[in-house]
Amino acid sequence: AIRAVWDCWQNDAPLHFRGEFFNLKLMTPFFNPGPLDVPNPPIYIAAVNKQMLQLAGELCDGVHLHALHSVKYLDEFALPHIEAGMAKSGRQREGFGVVTAVFAIPTDDPAYAAWAESHVKQQIAFYMSTPAYRVLAQLHGWEEIATQLSELARYGRWPDMPALINDDILNTLAVTGTWAELPDIIREKYGNRITRVGYYLPFIPGQNDAGWRATIAGFNR
C-alpha cells in the first residue's frame, strides 16, 4: 500500500491498490506532494517474533531488532525467519539492513561503568519480564528467571528485578569494554550478522564526549 502511494506521487501512476487490509483508489491534489528528487525512504519495521521477522524479510528494506537479543537468537531465530520471509518474495539478503541497539557498558570511568551496568541490568530485567519477548529466554534456558521477573513486575516490585540478572545473562546480552574497545568487541561478537548498531545508552550532549568520539573513531577504522 505504501509503495503504491509512492508510485502515484513519484510517477503520477493511478492509485489502485487492493490488499487484504486496505483498498486505496483516491489521491487528491491536496494530499499529493509530487515526486522526490532523491530515492524513496527505506522501509524498516521493528520485529521480535516470527511473523514480524518474516514480514520484514518479505517486504521491507530492513529490520530493527530489539536490544534484548543474543547471537544465538540471531543465528537460530531472527535471521532464519527473515530469510524465510525473503524466500516468499524471491529476495536475497544482500542490501537488506539489520539494525539493532546493544546494551553497552563502557569501563573507562569506574563510576560510570557501575552506573551503566546497573542501567543495563534494569533494562534487561524489564524486557525479560515481558511475555511477548519470551523467545530469548526459551532459547537460553532462562524461562524460570523470566517467569520470576514477570511475577515481580505484576506486583510492582521493580527494584527487586535487576538482582535476578546474573553474570551469564549480562555477559551474553551486553558488551563491556572501554569506549575505544567497544567497536572491535562488537565486530568480533556480531561479524556480518548486523549492518548498523547503536548503544542502548542515553546520549547527553557535553557528557562523555571523549568517549563517544573514541567509539566513533573505532567504528570508522
Span 87-132, pLDDT tens digits: 999 999 999 999 999 999 999 999 999 999 999 999 999 999 999 9
Residue 168 is predicted with a pLDDT of 98
CB 63 within 8 A of CB 99: yes
Statement to judge: residues 113 and 4 lie in one domain: no
Residue 120 is predicted with a pLDDT of 98
CB 43 within 8 A of CB 61: yes
Percent of the chain past pLDDT 90, that is, above it, reads 95
What residues make up the domain containing 154? 42-220
Statement to judge: residues 158 and 192 lie in one domain: yes
Statement to judge: residues 156 and 58 lie in one domain: yes
Statement to judge: residues 37 and 47 lie in one domain: no
CB 56 within 8 A of CB 84: no
Q: Where residue 145 sits, what CATH number does that domain have?
A: 3.20.20.30
In this structure, the number of other CB atoms found within 10 A of the CB of residue 70 comes to 17
Statement to judge: residues 114 and 190 lie in one domain: yes
Residue 11 pLDDT grade (very low, low, confident, very high; cuts 50, 70, 90):
very high
Statement to judge: residues 62 and 171 lie in one domain: yes
Residue 77 is predicted with a pLDDT of 99
Residue 43 is predicted with a pLDDT of 97
Statement to judge: residues 69 and 171 lie in one domain: yes
Residues 15, 27: Cα–Cα separation, whole Å: 7
Statement to judge: residues 73 and 112 lie in one domain: yes
Statement to judge: residues 31 and 103 lie in one domain: no
Number of domains in the chain: 2
Amino acid at 43: I
Statement to judge: residues 122 and 18 lie in one domain: no
Longest dimension (CA), the chain: 61
| DSSP conformation class of 179 | T
Q: Give 157-170 as a DSSP string.
A: -GGGSGGG--HHHH
Percent of the chain past pLDDT 70, that is, above it, reads 100
Residue 161 pLDDT grade (very low, low, confident, very high; cuts 50, 70, 90):
very high
Residue 45 main-chain phi, psi, to 5 deg: -125, 155
Span 45-83, pLDDT tens digits: 999 999 999 999 999 999 999 999 999 999 999 999 999
Statement to judge: residues 8 and 108 lie in one domain: no
For residues 19-39, average pLDDT: 94
11 CB burial (10 A radius; 0-12, 13-18, 19+): exposed
Q: Give 206-217 as a DSSP string.
A: TSSHHHHHHHHH
In this structure, the number of other CB atoms found within 10 A of the CB of residue 147 comes to 15
Statement to judge: residues 80 and 178 lie in one domain: yes
